[in-house]
Structure 1
Amino acid sequence: MRDMGSSDDPRVQAQLDRLSGLSIQRDTLGLDAIETLLSRLGDPHKHLPPVFHVAGTNGKGSTCAFLRAMLEAQGYRVHVTTSPHLVRYNERFRVAGKLIEDARLAKLLEDVFDAAEGLGCSFFEITIAAAFMEFARVPADVCVVEVGLGGRLDATNVMQSDVLAACGIAALGIDHEKFLLAPEEGVPKDPMARIAFEKAGIAKGGVPLVAMMPDYCPEAVHAIRQIALDRAVPLVELTIQQLIEFPPENCSLSGKHQSANAALAAAMVRSQTKVSVSEASIAAGIGSAQWPARMQRLCNGPLTGKRQVLLDGGHNRSAGDAVAGELDGTPVHLIIGMLDNKDPGSLVEPLSDIIKSITAVPVPGHDAHPASAFGAGAKSAADLSEAMAMLPDDNILVLIAGSLYLAGQALKLNDEIPD
């Protein structure tokens, strides 16, 4: 069962329990169920403020954080839906700048579940339908929407050109192979070309599509260009110079890779004409964006004590490479919890030269790799608190990583609840 948080309000808790019982995604992705559900709800996705739609394997959440900060710096009221949540399900619904309140969320979910009867909708389809319904009825100036999985067949991809301001593709990598590399006629055979094809599936005619071309392999670049050509999409290809336009010291989010995410957000804002955003607001947003569990330095608290602790939710090879690049040789004690459908070497191998110890912990509510998956020297602990207590008193930096679900548990234990 996923951790949705809990509520003292029985009506809210009832909806959280219903959500916990749903599968995250369907076994086969597709838009039929979400389109039917939205039709029953009055097609709220057709009545949204201008939308910035972001896909990618890594960095799409950070890109959304930069977009939100830029738009709010301009004075706009901004709706945002991102996934997954870290501590509370409410984090998926930022309505006109604030996380949705429990009572309103309960009524919203009741309405969506009633409309979904007989459709067999997934957790994510219910969530996105609820987000679009709330965003359509609460006044705001602009929306930021993060793709859940892939793009072409993701539940968010029901939006059409009339509501979209710009689309963007963040960093690409191999992930969610069961869905994104499933055999299908008429799709690219090369794995990275297929990943790019799926992500670029959010492109709509006449809507700018911004892509980080220097970060992609030639096969991915070709797939994105072909989709843009076929759909008459204005393609904005970021250059190496643009990807380093904002030095790391100017970005509020830690990590050299965040400069590229900031550049992607800036280019998306600059490429469109539906909302006006000044260069001053772009710069202000890059300097103020907040996005928990991405190379986040935790405060001294109940979990960390006085240890220096970094928290990162990365769980694939691209994320591992980014974390290794940011640590730049700094020794770490690694506390890792990783879902058993992920590659256990994706973080350990890029960090192998600097890891002083590995402690594996469970991921709350999910099947996770045992300590043996991370090498002969890895130890196991019952939870994060025990893992921290097992570390030697040597002042070496601690890195908690491997899963956003684990990251949420760390934030909860350290009293750093996202707001």
Structure 2
Amino acid sequence: MKDIAKSDDPSVQAQLDRLGQLSLPQGRFGLETIRALLARLGDPQKFLPPVFHVAGTNGKGSTCTYLRYILEAEGLTVHTATKPHLVRYNERIRIAGNLISNAELAALLAEVLDASDNLSPSFFEVTTAATFLAFSRHPADACIIEVGLGGRFDATNVIDQPAVCGIASLGIDHEAFLLAPEEDTPTEPLARIAFEKAGIAREGVPLVTQKYPAAAALAVTKTANTTGALLKMRGYEWDMRADETLEYMDAAGTLSLPLPVLSGVHQADNAALAIAMLRHQSRITVSPAAMRQGLRAARWPARLQRLSHGPLAALVPGHELWLDGGHNPDAGAAIARYFAGPVHLVIGMLASKDPEAIINPLANRLASLTVVPIPGSEAHGANAFGPTATAAASVSDALAAIGPDHIPILIAGSLYLAGEVLRLNGELPD
């Protein structure tokens, strides 16, 4: 399974090898297995600090990042679970601000895998159980938990009473899972995606969302009404506008905040969702000063990240070198909004993804288009990207072939590729 990273620690690698043998049985959906596994472990999900649960197609990872930095700016201790990892599996479990140690990770995975006998859990179910077990054993003021795939049947969706739930932007992705035919679900694709994401809603818990097209908004609203969640949708219970500053508005008043330091105009939307989640929950108090500090401090690798030092950057002196893991149409649109002028694109995409998602939004400004493989994964070849695309054997070869024209270079198309780029450039997420 490509999601499994290699580890230099033999004790971790031994457990990653066991984890790599797991997969989701074809056609199995539901939470029965993760609930059974957690029960064997003492139901650690029932002993977590206040949980911020975040779903969405794009932007949920960035929203989690803003939540973490803001809460830490308030002086609070925060556990964070995000996915996927880019280089090391440890990135998925952050305990009190720090990536989980190799020793604790190896012991946790062994404990969960040993407890899973005869259950046939998936990679994601074991990962989620290990995460909840880790978080339950370390004191903290808050937990931030990112949904993996969908929401309704995601392994994280066993938390009974989170402090608040959030849904970031919606788009069409993971169609084989999220659009699988099922009775009594919306038939319009984006509405079905919205229905799946809104499956994290809980009775009496604020469900804070972005604003969506009518069919998707209706699906979210119906789910909130059915579950008894307290729907707080952008454009109704809260809103924002961004220019030189981020102006956030809700019934409690207006906040004038700095724009987030993460690149891209879409990051103001993600930051505003984090602010709205904080403002609409009642279990933790956060000051505007902490919000301002957190927005300025937030870091989130491989999301329009500029690489300024390292072996790869040294291959293209005089160029700005950018990295983004986006791979769907919404991500492509966000990238295109950032690069207004010409750009050299080095791209690698999984064979299951649509090449046009990134190529089309940038089509009129591509100075060159080079297609690279993704180590360990089945990826599209250059022929999938049109007649102007050329192939290179590696990212290093692709960069070395770009001339000294000072046009920005973007490496994009896959988080798996992004992780390999960070590893090669010596920028391991910490």
* Length-normalised TM-score, structure 2: 0.93
Which residue of structure 1 lines up, in the alignment, with residue 112 of structure 2?
112
Which residue of structure 2 lines up, in the alignment, with residue 132 of structure 1?
132
- Over 3 Å counting, the alpha-carbon distance change for 1:58 and 1:108 in structure 2 is same
Letter in 2 for 1:47: F
CA distance in 2, matches of 1:265, 1:350: 27
Is the 8 Å Cα contact of residues 4 and 87 (structure 1) preserved in structure 2?
A: no
Whether 1:218 aligns to 2:214 is: yes
CA distances 1:319-370 after superposition (whole Å, capped 9, x unpaired) = 000110111x221110001111111100000000111111111112211111
Which residue of structure 2 lines up, in the alignment, with residue 394 of structure 1?
405
CA distance in 1, matches of 2:348, 2:126: 28
CA distances 1:63-117 after superposition (whole Å, capped 9, x unpaired) = 0000001110111110000100011000000001100000110000000000111
Of residues 244, 263, 269 in structure 1, which corresponds to 2:241?
A: 244
CA distances 1:211-270 after superposition (whole Å, capped 9, x unpaired) = 111xx1100011111111111111111229823255496211111000000000000001
CA distance in 2, matches of 1:24, 1:249: 43
Q: Tell me whether 272-281 or 150-159 shows the greater mean CA deviation.
A: 272-281
CA distances 1:103-143 after superposition (whole Å, capped 9, x unpaired) = 11000000000011111111111111100000001111100
- Over 3 Å counting, the alpha-carbon distance change for 1:81 and 1:26 in structure 2 is farther
Which residue of structure 1 lines up, in the alignment, with residue 352 of structure 2?
341
Whether 1:410 aligns to 2:406 is: no
Whether 1:383 aligns to 2:394 is: yes
- Over 3 Å counting, the alpha-carbon distance change for 1:82 and 1:26 in structure 2 is farther
Which residue of structure 2 lines up, in the alignment, with residue 184 of structure 1?
182
Structure 2 unaligned residues grouped into runs of 5+: 247-256
Of residues 282, 293, 313 in structure 2, which corresponds to 1:304?
A: 313
CA distance in 1, matches of 2:8, 2:91: 18
- Over 3 Å counting, the alpha-carbon distance change for 1:372 and 1:25 in structure 2 is farther
CA distance in 1, matches of 2:165, 2:119: 29
CA distance in 1, matches of 2:279, 2:63: 14
Which residue of structure 1 lines up, in the alignment, with residue 296 of structure 2?
287
- Over 3 Å counting, the alpha-carbon distance change for 1:97 and 1:25 in structure 2 is farther
Is the 8 Å Cα contact of residues 22 and 120 (structure 2) preserved in structure 1?
A: no
CA distance in 2, matches of 1:309, 1:28: 42
Q: CA deviation at 1:299?
A: 1.4
Q: How many residues in Structure 1 have an aligned counterpart in Structure 2?
A: 414
Is the 8 Å Cα contact of residues 327 and 414 (structure 2) preserved in structure 1?
A: yes
Superposition map of 1:139-218 within 5 A: 139-161=139-161, 164-213=162-211, 216-218=212-214
Letter in 1 for 2:328: N
Is the 8 Å Cα contact of residues 3 and 88 (structure 1) preserved in structure 2?
A: no
Whether 1:81 aligns to 2:81 is: yes
- Secondary structure at the counterpart of residue 70 of structure 1: helix
Q: CA deviation at 1:276?
A: 1.1
Whether 1:267 aligns to 2:264 is: no
Of residues 330, 337, 343 in structure 2, which corresponds to 1:325?
A: 337
Which residue of structure 2 lines up, in the alignment, with residue 69 of structure 1?
69
- Secondary structure at the counterpart of residue 353 of structure 1: helix
Which residue of structure 2 lines up, in the alignment, with residue 230 of structure 1?
226
Q: CA deviation at 1:20?
A: 2.7
CA distances 1:346-398 after superposition (whole Å, capped 9, x unpaired) = 00000001111111111122111111111111111111111111212211110
Letter in 1 for 2:210: M
CA distance in 1, matches of 2:332, 2:287: 35
Q: Aligned-residue CA RMSD in angstroms?
A: 1.5
Q: Tell me whether 174-183 or 276-285 shows the greater mean CA deviation.
A: 276-285
Whether 1:371 aligns to 2:369 is: no
- Secondary structure at the counterpart of residue 242 of structure 1: strand
CA distance in 1, matches of 2:155, 2:79: 17
Is the 8 Å Cα contact of residues 57 and 170 (structure 1) preserved in structure 2?
A: yes
Q: CA deviation at 1:7?
A: 3.6
Is the 8 Å Cα contact of residues 243 and 264 (structure 1) preserved in structure 2?
A: no
CA distance in 1, matches of 2:137, 2:11: 22
CA distances 1:6-27 after superposition (whole Å, capped 9, x unpaired) = 4443222101222233336864
* Length-normalised TM-score, structure 1: 0.96
Letter in 2 for 1:310: W
CA distance in 1, matches of 2:131, 2:410: 33
Letter in 1 for 2:112: V
CA distance in 1, matches of 2:120, 2:394: 34
Of residues 324, 327, 344 in structure 2, which corresponds to 1:315?
A: 327
CA distance in 1, matches of 2:30, 2:72: 33
Letter in 1 for 2:213: C
CA distance in 2, matches of 1:138, 1:341: 39
Letter in 1 for 2:81: T
CA distances 1:255-290 after superposition (whole Å, capped 9, x unpaired) = 100000000000000101111111111121111111
CA distance in 1, matches of 2:309, 2:137: 41
Which residue of structure 1 lines up, in the alignment, with residue 31 of structure 2?
31
CA distances 1:200-220 after superposition (whole Å, capped 9, x unpaired) = 01000000000111xx11000
Is the 8 Å Cα contact of residues 381 and 387 (structure 1) preserved in structure 2?
A: yes
